Amino acid sequence: MEPAVLFKNGWMFIRANLTAILVSAGTVLSLGAFLWLFYMPPAFDIGPEQPIPFSHRVHAGVKSIDCKFCHPYVARSVHPGIPPVEKCLYCHNYIIAGHPEILKEHAYFNAGNPVPWVKANYLPEHVMFNHKRHIQKEVLCEACHGDILSMDRIKGVRFKMEFCIACHREKKANLDCWLGCHN
Amino acid sequence: MKRRTFLKIAGMGSISLAGCSPDPEKNLFALIHAAPDGVTGEAAWYASTCRECPAGCGILAKHREGRVIKLEGNPLHPVNKGRLCIRGQAALQGVYSPRRLKTPLLKEKGVFKPVSYAAAEQIIARRAEDAAAKGKNRVRMLTEVTGECLLNVFDRALEKWKSAKTLVFEPFAYESLKTANLNVFGLYGLPSYHIEKADVLVSFGADFLETWLSPVSYAGKFKEMHALSGGKKGMFIHVGPFRSLTGAASDLWVSCRPGTEGAIALGLVREFAGKGRTPAHPPGFAEKLKAAAALYSKDTVVRMSGISPEQFDILVNAVRGARSPLVLGTGSGTPGDNALQTDMAVNLLNLLLDPELTLLDFHARHRVEIAAPRSDAVEFFEAVAEDPVDLLLIHRSDPAFYLPGRTAVTGVLNRKSLFKVCFTEVMNETAESADLVFPPGHYLETWDEYAGVAGMVSMVQPVTASLYNAPGTGDVFLRAASGGTGGKTPMKAFVHNRLKDRGKIKDRKDWVEVVGRGGVFDAGLPSRSDRHAEVRINPGEKIWEGFSGPREQEANTRFFAVVPGIRFFDGRGGDRSWLSEIPDAMTQVAWQNPVLAHPDTLARDRVRHGEIIRVTTGRGEATFPVYETPLVRPGIYIVSLAGRGFSKKAEPVRQHSLSLLPAETLPVSGGPRCDAPLVQVQGTGAFIRFARTDGSRTQLNRKIALSIPLDRVKGRRDAGLSEKTAGYSMNEFPLTLPLPEGYDAGRDFYPPHAHEKYRWSMIVDLDRCVGCGACMAACYAENNIGVVGEDRIREGREMSWIRIERYHDPDRPENLIFFPMMCQHCDNAPCESVCPVTAPHHSKEGLNNQIYNRCIGTRFCAQNCPYKVRRFNWFEWTWEDPLRLMLNPDVTVRSKGVMEKCSFCIQRIKHAHGRAKDENRGILDGEVVPACVQTCPTGAIVFGNLMDPESRVRKLADDPRAYQAMGYLNTKPAVIYLKKVIPGT
């Protein structure tokens, strides 16, 4: 078929089905716009919202509080530990004690409920990660968790096996399935 | 295309369909106050005491993030020395039982309504005070066996309420043993036995491996005398009408008619009276004894009991040849009205054989001796029915279940004017007719003290966060008796003060140490001479009344008997799903509780294996499925006491076995009768398919569980079995260690594995295994194994990682061998070579790793495994709330579609690695203790590193009895078995 004819046929097809085409295009575009608006507001990619807007940037970065002050078990347990409510109040009974967010902290303390901090980093259940071994091998917190010092909310990492394996290979660490990570 | 790329692309399709992966946004574990001894992610261990039976074994509870996730034996505890039984392991499920009541229930107009704990406590206190105001003895109480402290709390409260002391009720109260001890030794109590020091042990029914007095303690002691040591082993003869699990451990079963054990014992008394050792008895004793036993000649005994004359001779000769013989009496469920005579004869026999009674310890007496005889319990209810009592308190007991159909009991429970309070964690039959059901805190959540054996202190302390904030019974009574004062846990202070008063602790430091250790175990043990101080071996005239002349029994009297079993004991374990899921050792049937009978019995009654039969006794009738077994004497139907709430969904589905037994108690001892003459047995024509886990009753010559006669155990391995040149047939095959030295180029297809420093291996001594199943329960607890239920087990889909296989000897079917089977971690693993995705993977330490996230569920590995140890997750197994709280966070919970199997407790190996790295050393021998090894009451399993020439496993691998299951397959298993040693040549 010649190009002119093809063009003409195509044009006629469009004219004949203009409404349908416009509706489909509109649907696709509005769906795209909806998805963009849904997922791309400014706060989308900064990590999960926490019950109290705790800022790692301020505490660990600006104030240079050592990670281990709040995560005391990181060098002696599989789990780094999340500070108990009382620990926040050690300081915040004096520092910005009347701030509405600190009052929330008090409310948790008085009600006897731990703050429901939301998990940001994700490991599948069949991975048995041990913080202690990594800290003792002097792996820096940032090596896995990223630049915490500049994050307000923890953006969190969805760790993938490749990430672990690459480092284990490089450092000649344990590559055995069970003895290494899984069981 | 690379395999990985292919999988990635193939996976994309499913991802786009499935949408998002599991929601990662869960909350983190946080606290209000930092726990002084809690490190998030690390376990804290607390010492406490098991209360699943009156034995009172010491436990160490593993605590993670506020909840208890595993129980292990306390190695310092003198009762169990670090071991636990199947029920002790399953005690964990009692805390998290889905049937556990969350609040007290108050009955209003016939309907239970939840009330708060504070309100319920007030009701109890007010009712008690009102009753006390009206006069004396208006409050009555019945409790299970408790520790000295709690009993004291009860009695103080009752005294304040102007009422008599509490009655201690136990379904198995050893009435005949106690009465026999009173008659012969002048002591109404239960001494403990030094089974370990005996060389010949005769039991007239004592089921000391299952429920009798203190089963974990006696299982350990039994294997001290009965395991092979220095080419010798002790002998154990079991006399009784059926072969229980304890009987199965015996070298000889003397099968006698029920109720004739006493005659056999008296026959032995006759043989030994006036002979041999000089007894230091009161004058005239020997003559009287001789006269009493004179009637029991060998012929009479043989005629009465139905045993063969040869068996009687063996029995006599074994006892006569013994250096240190010990005879044990009747079992927990006293069978027959002749029990007292048996127990008295046994005591006299012990006295004759060893006048010093060195193997009896009258000081370390069993706590269960405080339980009142059954007749007292009946009288208690008769008294309450008649007296003007206003308040009845029933603590952790279920008299309506144990005393079925008694007018006094039902009358009391139905009396409107009587306010009945039931302290129970789950609903039971008594609680259903109570006015107030008060679920007290579980013993793992509260303070108490319970010494299973006299002379020591064994702490009970909270080892887990309280699930429902339930106060302990002690706290409730202390507060109620003191007008609500005492704070949150007055029981803690009470126990502290009481120990101080008793001189067990001096100061705060002592207290902390006692709580940390789990008790006071070493203090105050008397010298040997003191041990018998309370005994007056001065048998009164009453004793001879016990021996009426030989009572000829009709040879064809037929009996129905109910006995306690190792899994459910008195029935309290019914809601622990592990106990139902783990099959009965003797029948390999799970979830169902069949009545056992001999094939001849079935033929006579024209019923068949698996048929539902209707059993009629003088008291009533009930239906049971019937299981054919040679382990019961012809003419007897025997059923183990099913758990209360024994069913798949742990709903209370009862077997009415107890309601078939005679209601009257025995005249002298006051004990119950656990058997009844059979009136009729009828088949219903309906059949049940047993949920059995055995494929066959025998090994079909497969060379799985092997035994060796004692005389053939030599210093070296049998010639031909140690040499590589030996044959490779099913009858002759070498032990091939899973090490490079086990490689044989002519025989092996795959190259040897290079292991780094460690090659984990396990030695299982079949001579020590008694088939108790504690290892299975420990494995369920440690490794988050799914419970599949009756239907799935019928389909062969049980998930247990370790199982106890039971095989009958094809020539002597009444002889059994138990065989623990778990993943063999082969060096030539058949599973590894067939997996298309290499999910089973051989690790550098020799373990056969199953990589769950790699597994795609082809099940080729399970098909190719000759040991049938691989388990496939056909479904997503669920943990009914709140059972999921007890899952071990160190072990992945497997999901549908993946294969799983024993890991040698890899999480514990990794833990040991971590500790060794911290201390910059290698792992020590014995440092890695898998859950099964840890709990085994007889120490049958040893775990260690085969590459260490000094390790225990390496040395045991050189034992002449060592072999590998189906070794002719050349799979080179890392699990090495030691043959069971049987008597004979």
A65 interfaces chain B, CB cutoff of 8 Å: no
**Topology of domain B707-982, per CATH?**
Alpha-Beta Plaits (3.30.70)
pLDDT at residue B116 in the model: 96
Q: Do B25 and A79 touch (CB under 8 A)?
A: no
Q: What is the mean pLDDT of chain B?
A: 87
* ipTM here: 0.83
Q: Does residue B602 contact residue B636 with C-beta atoms inside 8 Å?
A: no
Measure the CA–CA gap between B170 and B368, rounded to whole angstroms: 8
Q: What is the pLDDT of residues B266-278, one digit of tens each?
A: 999 888 876 655 4
Pairwise CB contact (< 8 Å): A84 & B853: no
Identify from B32, B756, B851 which residue to disrupt to test chain A contact, counting A C-beta atoms within 10 A and taking the largest count: B32
Map residue B517 onto helix, strand or coil.
helix
Q: Do the Cβ atoms of B837 and B850 come closer than 8 Å?
A: no
Contact at 8 Å (CB) between B872 and B894? no
CB pair distance less than 8 Å for A178 and B847: yes
Strand order in the sheet with B941-945: B941-945, B760-765, B975-978, B962-963
Tokens 């902290």 label which residue? A105
**A3 touches B: beta carbon within 8 Å:** no
Which residue among B24, B844, B903 sits closest to A183, beta carbon to beta carbon?
Answer: B903
The tokens describing B132, both together, are: 């006390």
Q: How far does the CA of residue B748 sit from the closest CA of chain A (Å)?
A: 24
pLDDT, tens digit (0-9, with 9 covering 90-100), for B385-427: 888 899 999 999 999 889 888 888 988 998 888 999 999 999 8
Greatest Cα pair distance, chain A, in angstroms, is 84
Q: How close A160 gets to chain B, by Cα (Å)? A: 13
Give the three-state DSSP class for B449: strand
Q: Rounded to the nearest 10 degrees, what angle do helices B407-414 and B374-386 cross at?
A: 40
Percent of chain B with pLDDT over 90: 63
Cβ pair A84:B31 closer than 8 A: yes
Mutate to test the interface with A, among B2, B40, B849 (most CBs of A within 10 A): B40
Residue B841: which of A119, A156, A177 has the nearest Cβ? A177
Range list for CATH 3.40.228.10 in chain B: 175-369
Q: Give dist(CA B404, CA B659) in Å, integer.
A: 6
Whether the pLDDT of residue B724 is over 50: the answer is no
Question: Which of A84, A125, A156 comes nearest B892 by C-beta?
Answer: A125
> Average pLDDT of B733-760?
88
How many helices (H) and strands (E) in chain B? 31, 37
Q: Where do the DSSP E strands lie in B250-322?
A: 252-255
Q: Which chain A residue shows the shortest CA-CA distance from B40?
A: A81
Using the Cβ of A133 and the Cβ atoms of chain B, whether some distance falls under 8 Å is answered with yes
CB B343 within 8 A of CB B350: no
Q: What tens digit of pLDDT does each residue of B777-831 get?
A: 999 999 999 999 889 999 999 999 999 999 999 999 999 999 999 999 999 999 9
CA distance B404 to B717: 57
pTM summary value: 0.91
Q: Check if A41 contacts B (Cβ < 8 Å).
A: no
Closest chain A residue to the Cα of B43, Cα to Cα: A77
Q: What is the mean pLDDT of the segment spanning B367-372? A: 94
**Token digits of residue B539:** 């048998």
pLDDT single digits (tens) B328-340? 999 887 667 788 8
Contact B41 A177 (CB under 8 A): no
Task: List every span in chain B annotated with CATH 2.40.40.20.
Answer: 559-687
Torsion-angle region of B805 (φ positive above 0: left; ψ -120 to 50: alpha; else: beta) = beta
Contact between A126 and B852 using a beta-carbon 8 Å cutoff: yes
Task: Say if residue B720's pLDDT is above 50.
Answer: no
Query: Reduced to 3 states, what is the DSSP secondary structure of residue B806?
Result: strand
Q: Is the pLDDT of residue B442 over 50?
A: yes
DSSP for B669-728 reads T-PPP-EEEEEEEEEEEEE----B--S-SS-TT---S-EEEGGG--SSPPTTTSSTTS--
- Which CATH architecture fits B105-172+371-438? 3-Layer(aba) Sandwich (3.40)
The CATH classification of domain B175-369, taken from the options 3.40.50.620, 3.90.550.10, 3.40.228.10, 2.130.10.10:
3.40.228.10
CB-nearest partner of B843 from A82, A117, A178: A178
> Which ranges constitute the DSSP H helices of B391-507?
399-402, 407-414, 429-432, 473-481, 490-501
Partner residue facing A73 (CB), from B39, B852, B903: B39
Sort B579 into a burial class: Cβ within 10 Å, 0-12 / 13-18 / 19+: buried
Q: How far apart are CA B324 and CA B202, in angstroms?
A: 11
Single-letter code of the amino acid located at B451: A
Provide the sign of the torsion angle of the four alpha carbons B422, B424, B430, B433, taken in this order. Answer: positive
Given CB atoms, is A76 within the 8 Å cutoff of chain B? yes
The domain segmentation of chain A, as residue ranges, is 3-40, 56-181
Q: CB–CB of A114 and B31 under 8 A? A: yes
Q: Between A and B, how many CB-CB pairs are < 8 A?
A: 115
Å between B25 CA and nearest CA of chain A: 5
Listed in order, the ranges of chain B carrying CATH 3.40.50.740 are 105-172+371-438
Please give the CATH topology (third level) of the domain spanning B559-687. Answer: Barwin-like endoglucanases (2.40.40)
State residue B668's pLDDT score. Answer: 84
